[in-house]
Structure 1
Amino acid sequence: MTDLSRVLPGFPTAQYAGLLPALEKNQVTTAELLTVDIADLGKRTKLPLLDLKRMCNAVLEALHLDLGVSEKQPGRPSALKQTASDLAQRWSTISTLDESLDQALGGGVPTGYVTEIVGESGAGKTQFLLTMLLAVQLPPPHGLGRPALYISTEAPLSTKRLAQMLKSNPFFKDLDMKPTLDRIMSTATPDLESQEHILQYQVPVQVERHNVGLIVLDSVAANYRAEYERGGSLGSNMAARSADLIRMGQLLHDLARRHNLAVVVANQVMDRIPSSHSSNNSGTPGIFAIKSSVATPKSPPLAAAPPSAANAQMPQDSPLTSRSRGPWQPPPGAEPTSSLADMVGVRSSMPEPPPEDPPAPASLLLDHQNRWVTGWGDDPYADPNHFKTPTLGLVWSTQVAARVALLKRPIYGRKDVVEDEETGGVVLRHWRRWMKVVFAPHVPGTGQGLDGAVEFEVNMGGLKSMEKDKRKE
């Protein structure tokens, strides 16, 4: 039962000290204590059935208390018997200080969950996080009335920008109790070792001592990319990184659930490299085409396609962007052929290799699944060369409860482009930005592409959604 201390760290093992050696010797896990029949456990461990039954009941009750579904939990009824009003009282969010952004997020960033803010450099991630550091100090319903903890892995906390937000945001002008910089604690983690130590030992102490309502980690990917992308075997590095990510995700989730606080992490993006077929036969761009390695089993009719292309790899599109197609056509730029040998094909006297396994269904391919979890690539008409994907992969995606993507696009015009004196090139001065809910447990995600996304701008006071008439302009 080597996992009991990990599953239930606070379980009173001293009361069952006489049973633990036999359970350890026979490698009885916590799951087996809950699922295996008592008689079978007795035969396996040679322990009294009554003592085993008492311990199994104690483990079950401890799990109920840990999950918040026990009737013996002080202060509130069992979660299985709570009414809608009871759940509404426990539900709390932290506002973004903008009505449209809050509406898209279902009221704001929820407590009890790990929320990720992902986007390119300059998309507004830091501005979003700084706004949350101030908003959490507000009383409900806009905040929690609690301080915040900022953990930086790159640049230190910008207190100058926070003071500018406090002075310029109109939301703070009429408040009697304004947020202060004194209620924002910050620390730096320059490497992965210090990050793990701070999250595991120092952060829980700070949360207990100061009743922290928001933990911000900016950014989650910096130390992992620096640690695991240098030297060594790629496979072993990826396996170790995945284990560390799962452990950190469980730690952050446990902090959010136990203390009813919000955990917000910023994440970076990287370019997603599309396959060589970036468009289908109907001319629709933006589709990830998957090459099949299976040769055509039969030569098509002469009028349909030349058998010399029988070994050509046909694109296999995602079902999300599938389009009706006619007969097979040669790739663009291919020269026509009239040779009889090319038309009927030349068979070799050597034995042909056995056919390969058929390709996986398109719905199981990574290019298709990425559409639902990354925030980029779900628009069938977008340019695949501009697709991004959050760093740390699908392993980290399973550790966050909600993902919010911040997208940006340049604005081209004479007033928006200036010349860079150092490089001699041009620099874009203005960008359009959108906030998109990719997935969340409390609010439905936005539509494909920018459908349903909220356009916003970054001003002196923080984030502000764009008005409809200004969007049209």
Structure 2
Amino acid sequence: MTDLLDTLPQFPTQKYVRLLPSLEKNLVTVADLLTLDCVEIAKRATLPLLDVKRLCADVLEHLRGDLGIGEVDPGDKDAVAGENNVDGKGEVKKLRKSGKDVVDEWEVISTLDDDMDRALGGGIPTGYITEVTGESGAGKTQFLLTLLLSAQLPAPHGLAAPTLYISTESSLPITRLTQLLRTHPLLASHPSPPSLDRVISISTPDLESQDHILRFQVPVAIKRHGIRLLILDSVAANYRAEFERPGVTKGGGNMAQRSAELVKLGQLLRNLAREHGVAIVVANQVADRFTGGSGRASPMAYGQKRERERDMQSSPLAKRSLGANGALLILSSSMNAPMSSIPGSSIDNRIGWRDYSIITPDPMSLDHQQRWFTGWGDDPHPSYTSSKNVKTPSLGLIWTTQIACRIALIKKPVYGRARNEIMEEGERGEPILKRWRRWMKIVFAGWAMESGEGLNGSVEFEIRGEGMFAVKHGKGVDDDGEDVL
């Protein structure tokens, strides 16, 4: 069995020396021992049935012991009360933690804003990997700096512990941290204010040093200083420098190596979070997503209509993209004009907006599914600018499976008309950028409800000199009376 010792390193293999070679030859895994019938395994590996049953039972027992799960007799009052229930072998037969223990140990780090904390289910929890992703200028660094300081506060805002900041690009912005300490309403007036002396900063310029620091130096620093928050800013920088630099082969082998490195990093960070009770927050970059099947600015090519119709009709999962009469909801040839010249209202009247936005030859493809776990592209009614500004977090699906929560920070421009005194009456000036609007969107999390489609349920926030704060205004209209983009 190729994965027995990987799954259970302490498993006593001496008792089953005669069985293991045959099981390994027939590619029987630990999962097969737990899920398949013993008779089927015995036939497949040509082994005695009783020996296979004994092995399956022993593997299951050791797995339960490794996870701290045992069978407790309901009549045993001591076991029910939480006292040790030891069998003849000296093994404890009880759960490591009761449900009450898990609830009591739930600890979070506040963002220092009630609305943002409410969206996060209380804050950033310990024991998990949380990703903060967004394009440049969306507020990732401001979000992380706020956590660096709030984690030093006592409960309920923080953990009253030092913090660790690992940088892969620029150094720790000390000037901004000092400004937050001096001007933030809560930090400046708190009886136990945080301090820069309790922020430990490490720089990792390449992937090799990053792996060495995380594997050997970080566990020592956590134990020595009592660190409860680890921030990695950013997780994608060193991987881009290592695997996307000029001269590196961009083949399948290179991608496979990068995927394996990402899995190792995810496992390492999860072990740190779980074993030491540390909240791990990583910043991630984004890249532009080029698609041709979603949003009003990207209609499908009409020459591929027949081929896509055939694919859609052959897939039961794709029937939701068909109209009432079984026809694909595709723009007619009479609408073969630039989308920018067609009023949005006329498009909405001619086709079903939601149905048009999900047209795809394969509903189970990554291009179609990623809109619901990346944070961009799930808006059923995107504006022209939104459909042209779809992003994808870096490092792909492999990294997405390693994290427990993804927070997307989304920014959109607000334009105004230029005013010029020499313009003719009725003439309109060129649009100019007035400011940026920003939202915090919970893409997925195991402890909080994800935000809705598009920006529904997202928390709009603004960045000021004093810190990050949720915007307080009426639904659908901002402080200046401008419509939501």
TM-score, structure 2 as length reference = 0.72
Quick one: which of 380, 390, 393 aligns to 2:393?
390
Aligned to 2:440: 435
Distance 1:166 1:78, change over 3 A: farther
What secondary structure is seen at the aligned counterpart in 1 of 2:189? coil
Take 1:294 and 1:427, find their aligned partners in 2: how far apart are those partners?
Answer: 39
Take 1:327 and 1:260, find their aligned partners in 2: how far apart are those partners?
Answer: 52
Segments of structure 2 that go 5 or more residues without pairing to the other structure are 73-78, 85-91, 338-358, 420-430, 481-485
What secondary structure is seen at the aligned counterpart in 2 of 1:203? helix
Take 2:2 and 2:288, find their aligned partners in 1: how far apart are those partners?
Answer: 42
Quick one: which of 50, 63, 67 aligns to 2:66?
63
What secondary structure is seen at the aligned counterpart in 2 of 1:107? coil
Summarize deviations over 1:131-177 as a string: whole Å, max 9, x none.
11111111111111121111111111112211111111110233222
Distance 1:161 1:8, change over 3 A: farther
- RMSD over equivalenced CA pairs, Å: 4.3
Which letter does structure 2 place at the counterpart of 1:235? G
Identical-pair percentage: 45
Take 1:438 and 1:249, find their aligned partners in 2: how far apart are those partners?
Answer: 19
Take 2:50 and 2:71, find their aligned partners in 1: how far apart are those partners?
Answer: 30
Alignment check: 8 A CA contact 1:100 1:454 kept: yes
Given the alignment of the two structures, is residue 193 of structure 1 paired with residue 200 of structure 2, yes or no? no
Aligned to 1:353: none
What secondary structure is seen at the aligned counterpart in 2 of 1:363? coil
Distance 1:362 1:168, change over 3 A: same
Summarize deviations over 1:202-258 as a string: whole Å, max 9, x none.
222222332221111110111111211232142111111111111211211121122
Take 1:326 and 1:47, find their aligned partners in 2: how far apart are those partners?
Answer: 60
Aligned to 1:151: 166
Q: 5 Å matches for 1:226-241? A: 226-230=241-245, 231-241=248-258
Summarize deviations over 1:41-60 as a string: whole Å, max 9, x none.
99859998999689646622
Take 2:334 and 2:112, find their aligned partners in 1: how far apart are those partners?
Answer: 53
Which letter does structure 2 place at the counterpart of 1:274? T
Take 2:364 and 2:302, find their aligned partners in 1: how far apart are those partners?
Answer: 14
Take 2:154 and 2:123, find their aligned partners in 1: how far apart are those partners?
Answer: 14
Distance 1:322 1:155, change over 3 A: farther
What secondary structure is seen at the aligned counterpart in 2 of 1:380? coil
Aligned to 1:214: 229
Q: 5 Å matches for 1:370-381? A: 370-381=370-381
Q: 5 Å matches for 1:225-374? A: 225-230=240-245, 231-275=248-292, 285=296, 289=300, 295=306, 329-330=332-333, 332-333=335-336, 362-374=362-374
Distance 1:68 1:213, change over 3 A: farther
Quick one: which of 82, 91, 95 aligns to 2:110?
95
Aligned to 2:478: 471
Offset at residue 364 of structure 1 (A): 1.2
Which letter does structure 1 place at the counterpart of 2:396? G
What secondary structure is seen at the aligned counterpart in 1 of 2:397? helix
Offset at residue 274 of structure 1 (A): 2.2
What secondary structure is seen at the aligned counterpart in 2 of 1:251? helix
Distance 1:373 1:290, change over 3 A: farther
Which range moved further: 402-411 or 175-184?
A: 175-184
Quick one: which of 388, 403, 428 aligns to 1:400?
403
Segments of structure 1 that go 5 or more residues without pairing to the other structure are 280-284, 298-309, 335-358, 417-425
Offset at residue 189 of structure 1 (A): 1.2
